[in-house]
Amino acid sequence: MVKHRLVLALVLLACLIAVPALADDRHDGRSDRDRVIVITHLDIIPTFVDQAQPLIEQFVVDSRSDPGVEAFIVVSWTPTTNHFQLIEVYRNQRAFDAHISLAHTIDFRTKLQAFIGAPYDERLYEAAGRF
């Protein structure tokens, strides 16, 4: 039941972020289908949550000001407090590519490796049209 609530919350959040994407073309001439939506699943080893959480939170703060970032948030899976999801929306693929090459992203991923219990699970999505 808790897992279903998490999925529902993530779907709702994605819908809220994507509401402006219902139009094919925006007033600035960009297509909303250019957006890149990324969901990253982070499974932290339970004994390292206190060390990893500040690292994750700082990464979110640092990433929000990256060029082309439209949204960047972290959610946790209650009551499993060692599972986190990063939900990221980029203006386009170029903005995402720039973000992953920035020093603070590389530093975050390097430091996080000592704390994760599963591979870094980053999945890229794009708007699939009008639903």
Q: How many CA atoms lie within 13 A of 117 on its CB side?
A: 10
Domain ranges of the chain: 2-21+32-125
Strand order in the sheet with 121-125: 69-77, 80-90, 36-43, 121-125
pLDDT in tens, the chain (131 residues): 455 445 444 444 454 454 444 444 444 555 667 899 999 999 999 999 999 999 999 999 999 999 999 999 999 988 889 999 999 999 999 999 999 999 999 999 999 999 999 999 999 998 776 54
Q: Tell me the C-alpha distance between 90 and 115, whole Å.
A: 26
CATH topology of domain 2-21+32-125: Alpha-Beta Plaits (3.30.70)
